[in-house]
Chains A and B, each alone.
Chain A
Amino acid sequence: MLEYALRGDRRYWSWICALLGIMVVAFLFYLRQASYGLGITGLGRDVPWGLYIAQFTFLVGVAASSVMVVLPYYLHDFREFGKLTILGELLVIPSIIMCMVFVIVDMGQPSRILNVLLYPTPHSMMFWDMVVLGVYLLLNIIISRVVLDAERKSIPPPGWIRPIIILSIPWAFSIHTVTAFLYSGLAARPFWLTAILAPRFLASAFAAGPALLILFCVILRKVSRFDAGHAPLQKLAVIVTYAMTVNVFLMLVEIFTAMYSDIPEHVRHFQLMYFGLEGNASLVPWMWVAAVLAVLALVLLINPRTRRNEPVLILACSATFISLWIDKGLAMVITGFIPSPLAAVPKYRPTVPETLISLGIYASGLLIVTVLYKIALSVRERLAV
């Protein structure tokens, strides 16, 4: 089926070439990073994790979000998602691949990555993270391959795929929970040491992922003959609404606990994010923009009249996605480290190589998404003819 991805019009190929160009530039910068060391990034002794690991965390959420289309369709026979499930399942593949590349790019000794499997360590959450992400990737590759193949041949998929699909549903929850456990078990970082981190991760994932899927469907309607239909997108929008509401609620609940208890270890992190702390105010504009976008998104999503209006829905989904990216893909990881365990307030700013490498990895993810969606939609188009 890969040959479907090799046939496209000029617009398709210019998009592919643009992505490849970004990837080449990013790769060259990565070679520089590999020879100089991770010091080429803005990371330092006080802020050892930054842009790369934050993107990894955000993308695990996007990967987990496919469960929001798979669960209604396979568990509750919600037929309206029939056309969308394959898109959700395929989205997992580039998301997890991007997660893995971000981790490899962030490692000091990437050639030793197999050590994680050679010396399994059950008491380390990072070991489990690698295991569950790897298995989830495998599950979704198998699922999407078998289901798409069956669709291509116009036959129902084989019976044995159903238990695998059902397994992928709790597995999706588990990948993001394990990723949250990476952070929420650390006594050293009071900002992350909260039971609510795992539920918050899931809520923001289930808002950001389906919002992205809606945006992809709108784009696909413009560049191909695929039309997801008004009703499925509306149902997805309802899911985004509920998930975003829960996420904002959980965020406010966190702010209450920190600010009302007035414990300095907790208060200082929120001070850093929203008001600046001891001269470090670089996150403040980002956080307020995220807050405004979140409120805007909620207002537009909760009100049925604005939600049903597609251009407004596009705006709401974009606002949701950007707001959640700022929250998880920018603020969360960095704020955990500032102030430091010795009450210092370090600064962190991603450098140009760091940013370009990250963009390159995102470009590679978009490339894989493009290829996979091209294949899936080509299969459908041939059947329709």
Chain B
Amino acid sequence: MSIDRRTFFRIAGLATLGLAIKPGFEVFGQGEDVVDSTAAMGRPLSAKRWAMAIDVRCCLDQKDCRKCILACHQVHNVPDFGNPKDEIKWLWKEPFDRAFPEQEFQHLPEDFERQVVPVFCNHCDSPPCVRVCPVQATFQRDDGIVITDQHRCIGCRYCMAACPYGSRSFNWRDPRPFIKNIDPKYPTRTRGVVEKCTFCVERLTQGLMPACVEACAAHALTFGDLEDAGSEIRGLLRRRLAIRRKPGLGTNPEVYYII
């Protein structure tokens, strides 16, 4: 049989490609096996629409208090790199006019001028971060909580670009050496993935309130189900005026700042 070199290589190449057919089918044809889990152990908290209300005045009364931040960062193994470039923060405090830059405040009352409010992920109803994630690593649960699946995150940081509130942090380095006390019950993250506030989903399944809500000494944080007309948060919003961050962008944030 006479065959020229070019044809030989062409056939060999195609034959090698054929080796990819079976694995290709296995990977792309995979359905997701659902493990049937029925009975509930314990009483996890559930809601149709989780939301948080922050009574700004209660918070302002506590000067330099960081209990919520410390609780959150301790329970979730959030590292402290010591510099603003690599910083990871799930929950932090911003000066009032920085938390609401779209207001372009010119004349604030004295107490608002000097104090700071807690800011974190708003778990928006129409989250832009979920819309842009190319692998659905950031997704929204049925109860409204926006979660990042760090097993799937490819670290492209598109969600960070899309978040209008700057709520998301990226692991620019290996976080483990920078975590003061690693809590073994919760994973750390690894370099190269994005993370943010999760409304403490792992605590909700155990029937516990988010760590920041429990830690707040002034009970300034109220966490509850917005769709439940009898919930504490709905009652609060009925009585007091609340604003949200950058509402004009259409994200429909679910963190209410009661002023």
Expressed in whole angstroms, the Cα–Cα distance for A243 and B31 within the complex equals 49
- B94, B104, B158, B174: the one within 8 Å of A126 (CB): B158
Indicate with 1 or 0, residue by residue over A32-49, a CB within 8 angstroms of chain B CB atoms: 000011110011111011
B157-198: CB near A (< 8 Å → 1, else 0) gives 110111111100111111000000000000000011110000
User: Given A37-B174, A39-B86, A49-B161, 11 more contacts at CB 8 Å?
Assistant: A39-B85, A44-B86, A45-B85, A48-B160, A108-B170, A110-B154, A112-B153, A121-B133, A124-B134, A342-B101, A343-B97
Q: How far is it, in angstroms, between the C-alpha of A54 and the C-alpha of B132 when the chains are bound?
A: 18
Closest 5 CB pairs of A and B: A108-B155, A108-B192, A39-B172, A44-B85, A188-B164
Interface size on A, as a range, is 35 or more
Q: Which of B96-135 contact A (CB under 8 A)?
A: 97-99, 101-102, 104, 119, 128, 131-135
Show 26 A/B contacts (Cβ-Cβ < 8 Å), sorted by A. Answer: A36-B173, A37-B174, A37-B191, A37-B192, A38-B155, A44-B86, A44-B87, A44-B172, A45-B86, A48-B160, A48-B161, A107-B154, A108-B191, A113-B154, A115-B152, A123-B131, A126-B156, A126-B158, A187-B164, A189-B161, A336-B161, A341-B164, A341-B165, A342-B99, A342-B101, A343-B98
A127 and B154 contact, Cβ closer than 8 Å, known pairs A45-B84, A186-B128, A187-B128: no
Min C-beta distance of A31 to chain B, whole Å: 14
When C-beta atoms are compared, the residue in chain A nearest to B135 turns out to be: A115
Name A335-350 residues within 8 Å CB distance of B: 336-337, 340-344, 346
Q: Point out residues on A near B: beta carbons under 8 Å.
A: 36-39, 42-46, 48-49, 103, 106-110, 112-113, 115-116, 118-119, 121, 123-127, 130, 182, 185-189, 264-265, 336-337, 340-344, 346
Q: Which residues from B are CB-within-8-Å of A38?
A: 155, 170, 172, 191-192
Specify which chain B residues have a CB less than 8 angstroms from the CB of A342 in the assembled complex: 94, 98-99, 101, 119, 165-166
| A188 engages B161 (CB within 8 Å) | yes
Which residues of B have CB within 8 Å of A45? 84-89, 160, 166, 169-170
Give every chain A residue within 8 A of B89 (Cβ-Cβ). 45
Q: Are A341 and B157 in contact (CB under 8 A)?
A: no
| Chain A proximity mask over B61-89: 1 for CB below 8 Å, otherwise 0 | 00000000000000000000000111111
Say yes or no: A343 contacts B170, CB within 8 Å: no
Give the nearest-CB partner of A107 in chain B.
Answer: B155
For residue B14, give the distance in angstroms from its CB to the closest CB of chain A.
15
Q: Is the interface of A mostly helix, strand, loop or mixed?
A: loop
Q: Which residues of A contact B97 (CB under 8 A)?
A: 343
Give B contacts to A, CB under 8 Å. Answer: 27-28, 84-89, 94, 97-99, 101-102, 104, 119, 128, 131-137, 152-158, 160-166, 169-174, 191-194, 246, 249-251
B99–A186 contact, CB under 8 A? no
Q: How far is the CA of A116 from the CA of B98 in the complex (A)?
A: 35
Question: Is the pair A187, B154 in contact by a Cβ cutoff of 8 Å?
Answer: no
Q: In the assembled complex, how far is the CB of residue B115 from the closest CB belonging to chain A, in whole angstroms?
A: 16
Task: Please determine whether A39 and B173 come into contact, CB atoms closer than 8 angstroms.
Answer: yes
Output the least CB separation between B149 and chain A (Å): 10
Please name the residue on chain B nearest to A115 by beta carbon.
Answer: B135
In the bound complex, how far is the Cα of B172 from the Cα of A187, in angstroms? Answer: 25
Residue of A nearest to B99 (CB): A342
Chain B residues with CB below 8 A from A113, complex form:
154
With a cutoff of 8 Å between Cβ atoms, the chain A residues found around residue B87 in the complex are 44-45
- Cβ of B170 to closest chain A Cβ, rounded Å: 6
A10 vs B147: C-alpha distance in the bound complex, in angstroms?
Answer: 58
CB atoms of A121 and B191 under 8 A apart:
no
In the bound complex, do residue A119 and residue B192 qualify as a contact, i.e. CB atoms below 8 Å apart?
no
In the complex, the answer to whether A125 meets B170 with C-beta atoms within 8 Å is no
B47: min CB distance to chain A, Å: 25
Identity of the chain A residue whose Cβ is nearest the Cβ of B131 in the assembled complex: A123
Chain A residue numbers with a CB within 8 Å of B249 are 187-188
State the CA gap A187–B246 with chains docked (Å).
Answer: 10
Q: Which residues of A contact B165 (CB under 8 A)?
A: 188, 341-342
Closest to B134 in A: A126
Flag if A188 contacts B163 (CB, 8 Å). Answer: yes
Q: Which listed residue (B136, B162, B166) contacts A46, Cβ 8 A?
A: B166
Query: Is the pair B86, A48 in contact by a Cβ cutoff of 8 Å?
Result: no
Which residues on A sit within 8 Å (CB–CB) of B164? 187-188, 341
A116 touching B134 in the complex, CB below 8 Å, given contacts A38-B192, A45-B85: yes
CB of A118 within 8 A of CB of B84, answer no
A121-B135, A341-B165 given; A44·B154 CB < 8 A? no
Most chain A Cβ neighbours within 10 Å, of B27, B104, B156, B166? B156
